[in-house]
Amino acid sequence: LNSTAFSHPPYFLLIGIPGLEEEQFWIAFPFCIMYGIALLGNLSLLLIIKAEPSLHEPMFLFLAMLAFTDLVLSTSTLPKILSIFWLGFREIGFSSCLTQMFFIHVFSTVESGVLTAMALDRFVAICCPLRHSSILSVPVVVALVSLVLVRGVLLVGPTCFLVHQRDFCQHHVIAHSYCEHMAVVKLACGDSRVNVLYGLFVAFLVTGTDLVLISVSYAMILRVVARLPSREARLKAFSTCTSHICVMLAFYTPALFTCFAHRFGQGIPPPVHIMVANLYLLVPPALNPIVYGVRTKKLWDRVVIL
């Protein structure tokens, strides 16, 4: 038992962005501004949706869940990243590191699930408008959100458990600005193939399933939209779909890049890889409230009234 206790380091050291240690102080400023936008935008969305009973319908309930997820994702990483960049506080305790890893990966999975649920909601709203409220009733929405949360915890839980079971006998410096699963696994001694394979399995399962469902939803939506009689209605629907697809790309592109860069991207310069990994937890939380909030007339009308 003692050997197990000693095989976990008391803390890790987070480098920040390898290769950009000198520039980190300045990089922190745009990061801080984006975090401010994410906090302000997502908190505003949550407060407006909570305060306005007419917004208690599927699209806005999913939007509230997305805002909550973005707040957790950005807050579980950004304060620590800023303390590394500005104050040089690079230490993170072993348990804190595992906790951060759990929150990052669970809520990345949840975000993917919520984006899928929102795509399905748009599909039902556009393709079966008369049955929308009966198909996506509030209990169905609550069940979907619960399912998305439970899926995240059940899939990511074993990842953290497997990391906890490993021995760390090498150096304890993480070449990253937060406790990303593969960045921590690389420090473990012995064979870590189980960790790598399980991480890949989760990444493929989540993004594979969700991207297929999203793609099918939007393909069906665009098919219906193309048949709309009025040009104005078609343009409005296309414009909404385009902004939603941009949000999906802003989330999935860096997520997949980060996932595969650790395992297969030996040729990718570390600063590029880590920078993308940081933006992946920053851009969607700052972008989502702007795209979904500002472009949703009902919500915007409510803001104007307030």
**Cα angle: 202, vertex 168, 7; to 5 degrees:** 120
**pTM recorded for the entire structure:** 0.89
- Where do the domains of the chain lie? 11-304
Look up the CATH number of domain 11-304.
1.20.1070.10
Instruction: Print pLDDT tens along the chain (306 aa).
Output: 344 444 788 889 998 888 887 888 899 999 999 999 999 999 999 998 888 888 788 888 899 999 999 999 999 999 999 999 999 889 999 999 999 999 999 999 999 999 999 999 888 888 888 888 888 888 899 999 999 999 999 999 999 999 998 888 767 898 899 999 988 988 888 888 899 899 989 988 999 999 999 999 988 888 888 887 778 877 877 777 787 888 888 888 888 888 777 666 667 788 888 888 888 889 999 998 888 776 666 666 665 555
CB 31 within 8 A of CB 282: yes
**125-141 burial string, b = 16+ CB within 10 Å, else e?**
bbeeeeebeeebeeeeb
- Based on the number of CB atoms within 10 Å of its own CB, is 97 exposed (0-12), middle (13-18) or buried (19 or more)? buried
CB 138 within 8 A of CB 154: no
pLDDT in tens, 77-107: 999 999 999 998 899 999 999 999 999 999 9
pLDDT in tens, 154-198: 999 999 999 998 888 767 898 899 999 988 988 888 888 899 899
Query: Residue 22 is encoded by which pair of tokens?
Result: 């000198």
